[in-house]
Amino acid sequence: MYEAFFGLSSKPFQLNPDPKFYYSSKPHRRARSYLVYGVMRGEGFIVITGEVGAGKTTIVRDLLDSLENGSVVAAHMVSTQIGAEDALKLVCAAFGVPVRGGKADLLMALEAFFITQVTQGKRCLLIVDEAQNLHPQAVEELRMLSNFQFGDQALLQTFLVGQPEFRDILQSPHMLQLRQRVTARCHLGPLDEEDTRAYVEHRLKCAGATDKPTFDADVFPALHRYTGGIPRRINTLADRLLLQGYLAETTHLTLSALNEVEAEIEAENAVVLPAAPRDEPSRWGDLPKPASAPGVGLDTDDLDLGELGIDEDMVNAVNDQIARASAEQISARLLRLERSVLRQERISLEILAALKKILAASRKGRPNGAGHPDAPKT
C-alpha cells in the first residue's frame, strides 16, 4: 500500500524469508562461517538454533544460493510429532522419491536415489525445520540415514534448524549418538542496536529506497528496545511504522509515531480475560463475601495507625498515588484502543477511496452502453 508513496519497488519488511534481503550482521556472519565450514565437510549434521524470527531460514537459503549451481540437491522438511516410518516418508517426499512399501523399501529407495545423485557429481542435503519437534524415533532414523555411504563418501548431509530449546534436547542422554555426528553448530543471536539500524536501512535500500523515508535519530534505539533485536519483530514494527507515515502523508518518521504504533500493536495483542459465567454468584453464594471498597488503596479503617507508629498523612498520600496511577493506566489503555480504532477506520476509508477510483476508471474505459442489459447486440 505504501510502496509508491516512499518510492519503493517492493515491500521492504515482508515476513516471509527472502535471501534477496539477507543482511550480514555480526551474529549472522559468525553463524554463516560455521555453516560454510560444515557444508565443506559434506557429512554429518549441522545444527542451527535461534529465537523465532531470528533469521535461521534466511541464512540457510542464502548459503544454498551461494553454492555452485546444480551441485547440491537440497530438500526441505518441516518436522512434526511423527513416528519413525512417517519421518522416512517425509524425507522421500521432500526429495521427490516415490513412496512404496514398508520401512525397508523406503530405505532402499532413498539409498538408490542418493547414490544416483553422487554418480552425477551432486550432493544431497536435507534441511529439517522446527527440529525441536522431532520425536526420538524420528531422530534415530535421520541418524541412520547419515550412515549411507558410497565408497568413502557420505551420501547425505542434514541441517537441523530449531528453536533454542533444541540445544537442551541435544544434551539429553538419548541424543549421544546424534551429538557425535554433529560437525558444526551455531546459535543465531539477536541484533545489537547498531545492527538494528543497519538492518532497517539495508532492507529499505534493497527495496529501492533512495532519500526517503527519513527517521529521527532516537527511533532506532527505541526500535531495538521494543523488538529485542529479533529481525521478524523488527519487520513487523517497521512495516507498521511505514504504514503510519503513509496514512499521515509524511516521509519523516518520528519517535512519537513509533511509540504510537507500538502501543497499537500491544493493545491488539493484549490478552482479554473471559467474562465470569452468569451463574457464578449461585455457585459461590454460600461463601462469605468480602467487604467491598469504593476504590483502590490501603484499607485502614480497622487499624489504629497511632499504635502502629504509622503517619496517617503518609497513608493518605500513598492512597492518592495508587488512585492516580490506576486512573492513568485505564486512561492510557482507552486512549490506545481509541487510536487503534481510528487507525483502522482511516485504513478502511483509504481502501474504499482506492476501490472507487478503480471502479470509476473501469467505467471510463468501457464503450458507451457496454455491459448494460439493454445495450444493442452486434
The pTM of the full predicted model, rounded to 2 decimals, is 0.63
In this structure, the number of other CB atoms found within 10 A of the CB of residue 362 comes to: 10
Tell me the per-residue pLDDT of 287-337, one tens digit each, with 9 for 90 and over.
454 444 444 455 555 555 555 556 666 667 666 666 665 555 666 666 666
What confidence category does residue 58 fall into, taking pLDDT thresholds of 50, 70 and 90?
A: confident
CA-derived radius of gyration, the chain: 30
44 in Cβ contact with 146 (< 8 Å) = yes
Name the pLDDT band for 179 (thresholds 50, 70, 90). confident
- Which range has the worst mean pLDDT, 124-138, 154-168, 202-216, 354-368? 354-368
pLDDT of 224 strictly over 90: yes
Which pLDDT belongs to residue 56? 85
Q: What pLDDT score was predicted for residue 26? A: 83
- Condensed to tens digits (0 to 9), the pLDDT of residues 36-48 reads 887 788 888 989 8
Distance, CA of 114 to CA of 149 (rounded, Å): 9
Of residues 159 and 341, more confidence is placed in: 159
> At 257, is the pLDDT very low, low, confident or very high (cuts 50, 70, 90)?
very high
Average pLDDT value for the chain: 79
Using pLDDT thresholds of 50, 70 and 90, give the confidence band for residue 23.
confident
**DSSP string computed for 101-142:** SSHHHHHHHHHHHHHHHHHTT-EEEEEEESGGG--HHHHHHH
Q: Say which residues have a Cβ less than 8 Å from residue 254's Cβ, sequence separation at least 6.
A: 215, 216, 219
**CATH of 26-188 among 3.50.50.60, 2.60.40.10, 3.40.50.1970, 3.40.50.300:** 3.40.50.300
**pLDDT the model gives residue 84:** 78
Q: What is the mean pLDDT of residues 48-72?
A: 81
Q: Which residues, at least 6 apart from 181, have a Cβ–Cβ distance to it below 8 Å?
A: 44, 45, 143, 146
Given a cut of 90, whether residue 222 has pLDDT beyond it is yes
CATH number of 193-268: 1.10.8
CA distances for 356 relative to 195, 246, 337, 343, 371, angstroms: 42, 19, 29, 20, 19
Classify residue 55 by its DSSP letter: S
Give the model's pLDDT for residue 218: 92
pLDDT band at 204 (very low <50, low <70, confident <90, very high): very high
Per the model's pLDDT, the better-predicted residue between 155 and 42 turns out to be 155
- Residues 252-276 have a mean pLDDT of 79
Given a cut of 90, whether residue 220 has pLDDT beyond it is: yes
Residue that wins the pLDDT comparison between 195 and 315: 195
In the predicted model, is pLDDT for residue 105 greater than 60?
yes
Average pLDDT value for residue range 115-140? 88
Q: What is the pLDDT of residue 378?
A: 45
The pLDDT score that the predictor gives to residue 223 is: 94
Length of the chain: 378
Mean pLDDT computed over 161-183: 87
